[in-house]
Amino acid sequence: MADLLRVENLSKSFALGGPLWNRRRVSAVNDVSLTVQRGRTLGLVGESGSGKSTLGRCILGLTKPDSGQVVFDGVEVQGLSGRALSDFRRRVQPVFQDPYGSLDPRWPVGRSVRESLDCFRIGTPADRDRRVLDLFDRVGLNPALASRLPTNLSGGQRQRVGIAAALASEPELIIADEPVSALDMSVQAQILNLLLDLQQDLRVASIFITHDLGVVEHVSHDVAVLFRGAIVETGDTDQVMQRPQHQYTRTLLAAVPRPR
Ligand SMILES: Nc1ncnc2c1ncn2[C@@H]1O[C@H](COP(=O)(O)OP(=O)(O)OP(=O)(O)O)[C@@H](O)[C@H]1O
Ligand SMILES: [Mg+2]
Domains in the chain, start-ordered, CATH in brackets? 5-73+173-254 (3.40.50.300)
Percent of the chain with pLDDT over 90: 82
Tens of pLDDT, residue by residue over 98-145, are 877 778 999 999 999 999 999 999 999 989 999 999 999 999 999 999
Burial class of residue 111, CB neighbours in 10 A (0-12, 13-18, 19+) = middle
Tens of pLDDT, residue by residue over 19-72, are 878 778 899 999 999 999 999 999 999 999 999 999 999 999 999 999 999 999
Q: How far is the CA of 54 from the centre of ligand 1 (A)?
A: 6
Q: β-pairing, 5-15 with 25-36?
A: antiparallel
Has residue 79 got a pLDDT over 70? yes
Query: CA gyration radius for the chain?
Result: 19
State the pLDDT at residue 87: 95
Residue with the nearest Cα to atom 17 of ligand 1? Answer: 53
Burial class of residue 221, CB neighbours in 10 A (0-12, 13-18, 19+) = middle
Backbone phi and psi for residue 249, each to the nearest 5 degrees, phi listed first? -60, -40
Burial class of residue 163, CB neighbours in 10 A (0-12, 13-18, 19+) = buried
Has residue 13 got a pLDDT over 90? yes
Has residue 258 got a pLDDT over 90? no
Confidence of residue 259 (pLDDT cuts 50, 70, 90): low
Q: How far is the CA of 48 from the centre of ligand 2 (A)?
A: 7
pTM over 0.85: yes
Q: How far is the CA of 109 from the centre of ligand 1 (A)?
A: 29
Helix (H, G, I), strand (E, B) or coil at 243: coil
Residue with the nearest Cα to atom 27 of ligand 1? Answer: 48
Tally of CB atoms within 10 A around 256: 13
Query: Which of 16, 50, 231, 232 should be mutated for ligand 1, with most atoms under 8 A from CB?
Result: 50
